[in-house]
Amino acid sequence: MAKSSADDAELRRACAAAVAASGARGEEVTFSIRVAKGRGIFEKLGRLAKPRVLALTSKHSSKGEANKAFLRVLKYSSGAVLEPAKLYKLKHLTKVEVISSDPSGCTFVLGFDNLRSQTVAPPQWTMRNIDDRNRLLFCILNMCKEILSYLPKVVGIDIVELALWAKENALTIDNQVSNQDGQETSVATQTERKVTVTVTVENDLVSQAKDEEEDMEALLDTYVMGIGEADAFSERLKQELVALEAANVYQLLESEPLIEEVLQGLDTASAAVDDMDEWLRIFNLKLRHMREDISSIESRNNGLEMQSVNNKGLVEELEKLLERLRIPQEFAASLTGGSFEESRMLKNVEACEWLTGAIRCLEVPNLDPSYVNMRAVREKRAELEKLKITFVRRASEFLRNYFSSLVDFMISDKSYFSQRGQLKRPDHADLRYKCRTYARLLQHLKSLDKSCLGPLRKAYCHSLNLLLRREAREFANELRASTKAPKNPAVWLEGSNSGGQNGSSADTSTVSDAYSKMLTIFIPLLVDESSFFAHFMCFEVPALVPAGAPNGNKHRSGATDPDDDDLNLMDPDGNDIKPDNTSVELGTLNDALQELLDGIQEDFYAVVDWAYKIDPLRCISMHGITERYLSGQKADAAGFVRKLLDDLESRISVQFGRFIDEACHQIERNERNVRQTGILAYIPRFAVLASRMEQYIQGQSRDLIDKAYTKLVSTMFTTLEKIAQGDPKTADIVLIENYAAFQNSLYDLANVVPTLAKFYHQASESYEQACTRHISSLIYLQFERLFQFSRKVDELTYTIAAEEIPFQLGLSKTDLRRVLKSSLSGIDKSIGAMYRRLQKTLTSDELFPSLWDKCKKEFLDKYESFVQMVTRIYGNEPVMPVAEMRDVLATF
């Protein structure tokens, strides 16, 4: 069963709040329940009942006045908040009537005597069920009985049933109330009071009903009469009523002395009770005062004890705080005016460690938050900040001057650099050793003020950049001066047919060796410098691995063992620093490395340009060497070194591209020359060039070479076709001889180089096409009538029947015999003339045997087709057999 709204503590609190908001003071909400308000006639007209809340309230007076009871009607506002609507005084309640027209019995009317003059019918209240109705009515009767000492008239409800329901539910009605926190607590006094009142009301109702019933039964038992004697029975009842009233009056008169005696005893007992109550009040007041005095004494005693303990703890905490705030004299002297000489660095580092720890101890959470705003703590923190600023400024100024003076000393000493006749590997071991002395100091400067590292890094980069550029320039100059190389550059694809210099006699390997030596010396040096700079200047990046040389050995710029170059910096607690966030400062590091190493690339470019001028093909070797160094570099290690190698690779590719463009230009100049015959000069020269290029390939330079092959060969073939078109009579001969020369010269390379193999097959196809065109022209030139007759017959076979062809004009058997006689008589002479003509057109005797074989085969195939046509169209017309023609051709 659903919970009744009468038990809803939230509803009761809302009613109490609404009553209090209306201005009524001292009213206590005893009971509240949700009802539906109606008017009877309006519901018949279709209007709906309105939701309302009925609340019973009581007001207790402390000045001897009578207590008051009210019935409040509350309605819901637009915001679903209860607000007062009507107020009824229960002292005016005269009747409680249950509407008989409602079969459920849940609708009733409350009649008030002060509303009789109103013309509007009283509202009808409808409950959810009978239990809610009985609960509300009993609460109303309880309040009337307890506060107003009277009961209103009850109409339309069985008194016995109401009494029985009250007996069953007397111990459960309103036995709980809600406190202010929303928790329900049992109130024994209120429960007992309500149960007592409920039982009293119940007894009054039940006793009244039972007395009437017993009197009626006794009267009926003592007087038996017939059914038709109603008048006599009525008269008898009147007589008995008069006698009963007389007996009651007599009994009251006889019991008057006894009643007076009892009343006197009650007065005496009441006076004794009042005296006893007065004495108890006096003793209770004295005991209360004694308890208050004892509690006050105990409270003061506890406060004194707590104050003593707190004072002792406060003294201890203040002593600890004072110990934290004390600045040791030796540390203060080191921070404000100490020297930064190498012998004093240990004391400076200790002072930095103390200062870092002292500042950290004055910060939350190392310091209790209650101490943070203390005046002494704020003053001491400001003093430490001044010490920090002073020390950071002094240390930064010293390090900037130290870096500059150290590099200036090395630059002024010429023995550090390469000199004439002596290449010297740069050695920075002493420089790093001296800088490493101040590594711990830099680490502490970073923890004290990270912003001071920016100017220090710039000063270090500027100073070391001057040294590196001077070393690279001197080394590159001496490297070029000491390298023996041919003075005249090689010319590869000139259009001259003379057997002049082809670039293959001079050895230029020293050029690429010089470039390799430049990379071998300086790339590891730059990577080492980048690694040292990253750790020395406290960048939070992983260790930079030095690049290996092409043979796998690691070359250092210094002469010391790599393991001795220990830059594992430590924090103030002595622990190794292992950065976790590797990408936070990587961009800043790369910018700093750009500033550190910028300008050194010009010396590398100078070596590349010098090598290109001596032998452009050495770009291939240099490209391969650069590729191998690139593959050994990490993208996140020394960013500038990788960028330098990328730029070198691009510059080498551009220089090599210039060489290829120039070679293509030399090839294209052959097109503008006077009529050329035989094998063009750039065909065999390209074979020599390709062989040399294949010898220079190192690493992953295959793509560079393949692109060069593609551009060169495409230009060669295009130029060859244009030269051949200049003279249509010899076009095929030029193509045949040059494509054949291209295939012969590149046969071996095409077997191992896929790109050249592709162009080899292209030249082979063009060669076959040129051979076919030239042989066909020779055959048709010598036997034009024979094969022209055959072509006409073949064309007519698509339009007319085969048996009708001999009757066409110019294609009769007589015409056939005439053509055979003119073409095949003296066949030996005709074939001999064709043999001599082919031999005369070729300038290369090596090609003639293969071309003559192709010519004989082509002629024999055409003649065989001719014989088959004659047999099919002209029947048994005599013609030289194919076997006899084959024997004739075999004699040549």
Interval 748-777: pLDDT, tens: 888 888 888 898 898 888 888 888 888 888
Q: Sheet harboring 27-38: ordered strands across?
A: 82-89, 68-76, 50-59, 27-38, 124-126, 107-112, 93-98, 153-155
- Digit-coded pLDDT (tens) for 122-147: 888 998 888 888 888 888 888 888 88
Please check the confidence at residue 374 and state whether its pLDDT lies above 60.
Answer: yes
- Of the listed ranges 264-268, 358-362, 446-450, 868-872, the least confidently predicted one is 358-362
pLDDT score at 654: 92
SS3 at position 181: coil
- Digit-coded pLDDT (tens) for 25-43: 778 888 999 998 886 544 5
Phi then psi for residue 45, to 5 deg, are -80, 0
- Digit-coded pLDDT (tens) for 600-619: 889 898 989 888 888 888 88
Task: Compute the mean pLDDT over every residue in the chain, rounded to the nearest whole number.
Answer: 76
Q: Partners of 55 in the beta sheet? A: 32, 72
Q: What is the mean pLDDT of residues 414-427?
A: 72
pLDDT score at 215: 61
Please check the confidence at residue 489 and state whether its pLDDT lies above 60.
Answer: no
Burial status of residue 600 (CB atoms within 10 A of its CB: 0-12, 13-18, 19 or more): buried
Please check the confidence at residue 195 and state whether its pLDDT lies above 50.
Answer: no
Q: What is the mean pLDDT of residues 388-401?
A: 84
Residue of 313, 652, 657, 400 lying closest to 516 (CA atoms): 652
Asked if 194 and 142 touch (Cβ cutoff 8 Å), the reply is: yes
| Identity at 567, one-letter amino acid code | L
Residue of 517, 507, 473, 482 lying closest to 614 (CA atoms): 507
Please check the confidence at residue 671 and state whether its pLDDT lies above 80.
Answer: no
User: Which residue is listed with tokens 């008194």?
Assistant: 159
What's the DSSP call for residue 146?
Answer: I
SS3 at position 433: helix
pLDDT score at 491: 56
Asked if 635 and 708 touch (Cβ cutoff 8 Å), the reply is: no
pLDDT score at 368: 67
Spatial distance between the Cα atoms of 196 and 773, rounded to a whole number of angstroms: 137
Per-residue pLDDT band for 202 (boundaries 50, 70, 90) equals low
Spatial distance between the Cα atoms of 232 and 225, rounded to a whole number of angstroms: 9
pLDDT score at 222: 54
Most confident stretch, 4-8, 118-122, 416-420, 540-544: 4-8
User: Which residue is listed with tokens 């709980």?
Assistant: 176
- Digit-coded pLDDT (tens) for 628-657: 888 876 544 457 788 888 899 899 999 989
pLDDT score at 294: 92
Spatial distance between the Cα atoms of 432 and 532, rounded to a whole number of angstroms: 8
Please check the confidence at residue 199 and state whether its pLDDT lies above 60.
Answer: no
Spatial distance between the Cα atoms of 790 and 625, rounded to a whole number of angstroms: 67
pLDDT score at 241: 83
- Give the list of residues 6+ apart from residue 466 with CB closer than 8 angstroms, or none: 407, 411
Our measurement of the distance from residue 445's CA atom to the centroid of its chain's CA atoms, rounded to an integer in Å, reads: 35
What's the DSSP call for residue 26?
Answer: S
pLDDT score at 290: 92
Higher pLDDT, 309 or 170: 309
Per-residue pLDDT band for 425 (boundaries 50, 70, 90) equals confident
Phi then psi for residue 874, to 5 deg, are -105, 10
Q: What is the mean pLDDT of residues 885-892?
A: 76
**How many C-alpha atoms does 777 have within 13 Å on its Cβ side?**
15
Per-residue pLDDT band for 62 (boundaries 50, 70, 90) equals low
Phi then psi for residue 591, to 5 deg, are -65, -40
Please check the confidence at residue 85 and state whether its pLDDT lies above 50.
Answer: yes
Higher pLDDT, 518 or 842: 518
Please check the confidence at residue 563 and state whether its pLDDT lies above 60.
Answer: no
Terminal C-alpha separation, the chain: 127
Asked if 124 and 40 touch (Cβ cutoff 8 Å), the reply is: yes
Q: Read off the pTM.
A: 0.54
Q: What is the mean pLDDT of residues 48-52?
A: 81
Spatial distance between the Cα atoms of 205 and 198, rounded to a whole number of angstroms: 11
pLDDT score at 633: 65
Count CB atoms within 10 A of the CB of residue 83.
Answer: 12
Our measurement of the distance from residue 708's CA atom to the centroid of its chain's CA atoms, rounded to an integer in Å, reads: 45
- Digit-coded pLDDT (tens) for 223-232: 555 445 677 7
Please check the confidence at residue 253 and state whether its pLDDT lies above 80.
Answer: no
pLDDT score at 548: 40
Angle among Cα 354, 359, 360 to the nearest 5 degrees reads 95
pLDDT score at 172: 52
Higher pLDDT, 446 or 784: 446
Please check the confidence at residue 371 and state whether its pLDDT lies above 50.
Answer: yes
Spatial distance between the Cα atoms of 179 and 173, rounded to a whole number of angstroms: 18
Whether the CA torsion 734, 738, 741, 747 is positive or negative: it is negative
Phi then psi for residue 88, to 5 deg, are -120, 140
